[in-house]
Amino acid sequence: MTTISLRNRQFSVSPGTVAWFGLVGLLLLIGLVSAVIVFKNGLVVTNLTNAVPWGLWITIDLSSIALGAGAFTLSAVVYIFGIDRFRSVIRLAVLVGVIGYTSALLTLVMDIGRPDRFWHPWVYWNVHSVLWEITWCITLYLTIMLVEFAPVIVESRLFKRFPWLRKFGHALHRVAPVLAVAGLLISLLHQSSLGATYGIIKARPIWFKPSMPIMFIVSAIAVGPAVTMAAAFIMEWISGKRTIAHDLLRTIARFSGLGLLVYAYIKFWDLMAVTYYGSTPGSERAFATLNTFTAYGFWFWVGEVFLGIIIPVLMFLVPRFNRRPINLVFGALCAAAGILINRWDVTVSGLVVPVSYSPGTEYVLPPQAYSPALVEWGIALGVIGYIFLLFTLAMRFLPLFETGEEAHAAG
Binding site for other proteins (CB under 8 A): 41-44, 48, 50, 53-54, 78-79, 82-85, 87, 111-114, 117-118, 120-126, 128-132, 134-135, 174-175, 177-178, 197, 200-203, 245, 247, 351, 354-355, 357-363, 365
Name which of 238 and 355 has its Cβ closer to other proteins: 355
The continuous run of DSSP H or E covering 400 comes out as: none
Q: How far is the CB of 87 from other proteins (least distance, A)?
A: 8
- d(Cα 62, Cα 336) in Å, to the nearest integer? 12
Choice between 94 and 307, CB closer to other proteins: 94
The least distance separating other proteins from the CB of residue 306, rounded to whole angstroms, comes to 29
Q: For other proteins, which is the closer residue by CB, 20 or 132?
A: 132
Q: Which residues neighbour 63 within 8 Å (Cβ) at sequence distance 6 or greater?
A: 336, 339, 340, 343
Contact 392, 24 (CB under 8 A): yes
The closest alpha carbon to 135, from 146, 149, 148, 120, belongs to: 120
If the CB atoms of residues 118 and 301 are measured against other proteins, the closer one turns out to be 118
- Count other Cβ atoms within 10 Å, centred on residue 368: 14
Q: Least CB distance from residue 130 to other proteins, whole Å?
A: 7
Tell me how far, at minimum, the Cβ of 339 lies from other proteins, in Å: 21
Distance of closest approach, residue 403 Cβ to other proteins, in angstroms: 11
Whichever of 82 and 240 has its CB closer to other proteins, that residue is 82
Phi-psi region of 294 (alpha: psi -120 to 50; beta: other; left: phi over 0): beta
| Residue whose CB is less far from other proteins, 42 or 163 | 42
Q: 9 or 167: whose CB is closer to other proteins?
A: 167
Total residues found in the chain within this entry: 411
Identify which of 350, 345, 255 has the alpha carbon closest to the alpha carbon of residue 307. 345
* N-terminal to C-terminal alpha carbon distance within the chain: 23
CA distance 345 to 332: 20
- Quick one: DSSP state of residue 294? S
| CB of residue 296 to other proteins, shortest distance in Å | 18
Burial of 376 (0-12, 13-18, 19+ CB in 10 A): buried
Residues in contact with 399: Cβ distance below 8 Å, sequence separation at least 6, in sequence order: 91, 152, 155, 156
Pick 15 or 366: Cβ nearer other proteins: 366
Residues whose CB falls within 8 Å of the CB of residue 49, separated by 6 or more in sequence, listed in order: 368, 370
CB of 182 to other proteins, least distance (A): 9
Q: How far is the CB of 80 from other proteins (least distance, A)?
A: 9
